[in-house]
Structure 1
Amino acid sequence: MTTKKVGVISQARMTSTRLPGKVLLKAGGKTMLQHHVDRLRDAGLDVYIATTQNTSDDPIAAYAAQANIPCYRGDEHNVLSRFYECALRYGLDVIVRVTSDCPLIDGQLIADAVQQYLAWDDEAVYLSNALQRTFPRGFDFEIFSFGLLKEAFQNATLTADLEHVTPYINQNKSGRVTLRHYTQDKDASQFRITLDTPEDFELISLLMEQHGAHKLSGDEIMLLLENHPKLQNINAHVEQKKLGE
């Protein structure tokens, strides 16, 4: 069996309705995007950035060039096409999809999940920790084959499917997807360490600058939040955007 080429594709853009320019905000001496990429590299996989052709995203492309990260620039709204074209250009057989608003994502979790995925040796498998959620929001990843991505690219027509990349796959619209869930015994789904609002940035900044969270494992970050209810409360009221919003 030939070795599959696995790559992490992170979507990133500067425009955000609730926190514009969020991925280039700084805490702990680095931008959120730098923290995100640094932690992804702990997975031991190649990382790719998929951003838009808009001039507003030139700073993201500039960072990618400076950091020697392959960067694909595509359609702003059809993010599915952006992922497909990025994966096609770089010859990926297996895609790990993440979003750049997760500066504390755990690369070790991704590495473990990828090993599970590869062991099944089945291109119809979709593996994620975000559908059956036991990890904090902000540790999210999805793993799927280029075959499933191509099928979605060729057949998806709904706006939500195009904007959010994977609904066509994880809603099994083709009828051939095997859904698998990456979970942990302890439920930490109540924690929110994704970056979408000023409150989210306040929490992540405190976690990094007062607790060194950017140097901690996912388990250590979850324990930190568990032991500090006041930190949890900073953004506990924030509601996640729904698909299509």
Structure 2
Amino acid sequence: MDAIVAVQARMGSSRLPGKAMLPLDGTPALVHEINRAVSVDGIDHEDVVVATSETPRDNIIAITAKDAGATVYRGSEANVIGRIANAVEEVDADIAVRLCGDNTLIDPRLPETLLDMVRKDGIEYASSKFEHTFPIGHNVDGFTRGTITRAAQDADSDHHREHVAQYFKAYQDEVTAVNVTAEEVFGSEFVESIPAFRKLRLTLDEADDYRLLSRVYEEVSYDQIVETKKAIRYIVDNNLHRINADVEQQVW
């Protein structure tokens, strides 16, 4: 298998428990994210690997992901970097992108761009996070199999085992890494047309985020996925960004 999209998801969020299963337009948020991953060029349902934990409360994650056609890998709840590395190893993928299960408005062009980057000779890691140009909720990284395997072996703190991107931020000088900007994905004209583009919250991490996303999924027309640009324009034109503007969250 050449490339996969790994979606890390679990039920045990402290801020919004069970968020992966919250309904958006009647469908669990996790299924919407799987559909977005399938919209990535070259990715089929079996290429989407939902990496969840072995704890019983995450059985519903595994069942829902399988019903949606995705592949499921179950591993450590706390050692996320190990769980992702083992998922890549399990399906014998050469490269992967990692999505967080609460980013239900990810533009498929971002993981596409990251996969293209790590396919290039010499590039081991690509991220949207070295430079903060995207809205919150577009936190994606791509890597080779060897890179994530090495990272899982070398991560020597609970913090880095839990937060994959923060490990790579701390050790970015030890990998050949590139950054992808919002302008590369959305185009400069669109980014510049949206006030406070980088401050928009397009994630599902707090109750107010759920209020905003529920409005988007109920009121913006879509086929398989809500088009990200269309959603952003709707949010801004209708001042919906005020719903979750006061939520404080560390970007990394």
What TM-score, normalized by structure 2, do the two folds share? Answer: 0.86
Partner of 1:227: 237
Partner of 1:89: 90
Alignment RMSD (CA, Å): 2.0
SS at 2:198 equivalent: coil
Which contiguous aligned blocks of 4+ residues in structure 1 show a shift greater than 6 angstroms? Answer: none
Structure 2: gaps (5+ residues): none
Show the 5 A alignment for 1:87-166.
Answer: 87-118=88-119, 120-124=120-124, 126-166=125-165
SS at 1:60 equivalent: helix
Answer whether contact 2:118 2:144 (CA < 8 A) is retained: no
The residue type paired with residue 27 of structure 2 is K
Answer whether contact 1:199 1:235 (CA < 8 A) is retained: yes
State the Cα deviation string for residues 148-194 of structure 1 (Å, max 9, x = none): 11111111101111001233323326623333233313262111010
Between the aligned partners of 2:210 and 2:71, the Cα distance in structure 1 is: 27
The counterpart of 1:206, out of the listed 212, 215, 219, is 215
Partner of 1:5: 2
Pair 1:241–1:55, CA change in 2 (3 A): farther
The residue type paired with residue 146 of structure 2 is G
Answer whether contact 2:35 2:225 (CA < 8 A) is retained: no
The counterpart of 2:203, out of the listed 194, 201, 210, is 194
The residue type paired with residue 59 of structure 1 is I
Pair 1:74–1:152, CA change in 2 (3 A): same
Between the aligned partners of 1:108 and 1:176, the Cα distance in structure 2 is: 24
Partner of 1:217: 227
Pair 1:240–1:182, CA change in 2 (3 A): same
Pair 1:15–1:241, CA change in 2 (3 A): farther
Partner of 1:236: 245
State the Cα deviation string for residues 180-227 of structure 1 (Å, max 9, x = none): 233313262111010011100000000110223674322222222232
Structure 1: gaps (5+ residues): none
Pair 1:181–1:11, CA change in 2 (3 A): same
State the Cα deviation string for residues 84-116 of structure 1 (Å, max 9, x = none): 111111111111011110112122332233224
Which stretch has the larger CA shift, 160-169 or 188-197?
Answer: 160-169
Partner of 1:14: 11
Between the aligned partners of 2:235 and 2:35, the Cα distance in structure 1 is: 21
SS at 2:4 equivalent: strand
Structure 1 residue 32 and structure 2 residue 29: aligned? Answer: yes
The count of aligned residue pairs is 237
Pair 1:155–1:117, CA change in 2 (3 A): closer
What TM-score, normalized by structure 1, do the two folds share? Answer: 0.89
Report the Cα offset of residue 15 of structure 1.
1.0
